Amino acid sequence: MGNQYIEQAENALLHTYNRYQIVLEKGEGVYLYDDEGKKYLDFAAGIAVCSLGYGHPRYTKALKSQVERLVHTSNLFYSKPAAEAAERLKRAAQMDRVFFTNSGTEAIEGALKAARKYAYTKQSGKYEFIAMNHSFHGRSMGAVAVTGNENYRTPFEPLISGVKFAEYNNLESVKAKINDKTCAIIIEPIQGEGGVYPADKEFLEGVRALCDEHDILLIFDEIQCGMGRSGEMFAWQKYGVKPDIMTMAKAIGNGVPVGAFAMTEEVAGNSLKPGDHGTTYGGNPLVCAAVNEVLKIFEEEQILEHVRKITTYLEESLEKLTAENPNVEARRGMGLMQGLVLKKPVQEVIAKCMEEGLIVISAGGNVLRLLPPLVIMKEHVDEMMQKLEKALA
Ligand SMILES: *Cc1c(COP(=O)(O)O)cnc(C)c1O
């Protein structure tokens, strides 16, 4: 075929991704268009980022008006969007203090630093982290150190020391790794990248109890499963198990690069102080105008109620497919974060979906991952099912 932009990119970008040979140009609602005008139903949302779909009028208007006013200030100053976004986000997350970052990875770095500083302030001598097998927390040296996938870690060792891995949804395994040096436990309430595994309620409750008993901080990574995807604003609210520190990113800005970590007053008051942590861009007026408008839209357009309703329909459709299609082994997931365990090579099926005009992604090797914009309707679920069935044939 020979596409000019693919050639340009291949010759200039570092080869760190196996990209699909598609140049995306435009988005509208829950559809994307490539540079040849081909239309795709989007069930990936830029990896759980574009939750409100593309071209949401209020979102576009808020960003445009902020661009015209002020894009950047540095964190030496206050700004109206940052003040409003922080206040809204802290309320939605039921946390006391928020720090804005530029990505999920940076939110993880901040959360790990806050936990270490807390131990330092308390002079507890604690520094170890317990993370989960099959977890994913990002690609920086700190984030990769707590990521439960050896392929991501080994080439970059030595990483930060004092990290132990336990089995997800196995309380005994977590218990066995705890000692008097354990400073924090980090968990995704629903594992994404690792294969779409929701936590068991008893597991999270059990870990919370262990943390309370041993004076350990509980960190939840809500970067992928947060912001309405589970049917609650944050997945922990669905489980009723509150962390001490939580990380957010992806959908909080609906596409502008922004993340955050938040914490309780107890952690905030005993951890990061002026000089301990910072960022030049983090929480600038542009991204905060986005976060603020996204949160307003969630409230005013009843996004959570919609997610709960459409989830029932999506799950029924996927259950039916799982029961009837010999190439599908199982369904896992919660809300609009769903995985199908396939008996066929998943990349083959994804490629066929692309041909059919459906964008889906993979997780953990043999899982087809569905992360649609939260605003999908029944007709989009039906269209996805038709295309997916063809791709599975
Ligand atoms: C995507 C992701 C990250 C990393 O976020 P980036 O914005 O890519 O740095 C961390 N944790 C989880 C659970 C994620 O899904």
18-66 pLDDT tens trace: 999 999 999 999 999 999 999 999 999 999 999 999 999 999 999 999 9
List pLDDT tens digits, range 352-391.
Answer: 999 999 999 999 989 999 999 999 999 999 999 999 999 9
pLDDT at 1 over 60: no
Distance 223 CA to ligand 1 centre (A): 6
250 labelled catalytic: yes
220 labelled catalytic: no
pLDDT at 233 over 90: yes
Tokens coding 105: 């990875």
Does residue 109 line the site of ligand 1, with CB under 6 A? no
Is-cis flag, bond preceding 189, omega within 30? Answer: no
What local confidence, expressed as pLDDT, does residue 2 receive? Answer: 72
136 labelled catalytic: yes
DSSP string, 200-242: PHHHHHHHHHHHHHHT-EEEEE-TTTTTTTTSSSSHHHHHT--
Atom of ligand 1 nearest to the CA of 224: 15
Pick the catalytic residue from 203, 221, 238, 387: 221
List pLDDT tens digits, range 124-171.
Answer: 999 999 999 999 999 999 999 999 999 999 999 999 999 999 999 999
DSSP state of 365: T
Average pLDDT of 301-305? 98
DSSP E strand boundaries for the chain: 24-28, 31-34, 39-42, 97-101, 128-132, 163-166, 182-187, 190-191, 197-198, 217-221, 245-248, 259-263, 328-334, 337-342, 358-359, 361-363, 367-370
pTM over 0.85: yes
| Bridge-based pairing state of the strands 31-34 and 39-42 | antiparallel
Which SS3 state, helix, strand or coil, does residue 259 take?
strand
- Sequence-distant (6+) residues with CB within 8 A of 120 are none
Average pLDDT of 263-286? 98
Which SS3 state, helix, strand or coil, does residue 20 take?
coil
Average pLDDT of 250-274? 98
Instruction: Tell me how far apart the alpha carbons of residues 262 and 265 are, in angstroms, rounded to a whole number.
Output: 10
Q: Which of 190, 224, 254, 371 to mutate to test the pocket of ligand 1 (most atoms within 8 A of CB)?
A: 224
List pLDDT tens digits, range 189-218.
Answer: 999 999 999 999 999 999 999 999 999 999
pLDDT at 80 over 80: yes
Tokens coding 35: 């540079």
**Closest to 172 in 3D by CA, of 207, 198, 129:** 207
pLDDT at 84 over 60: yes
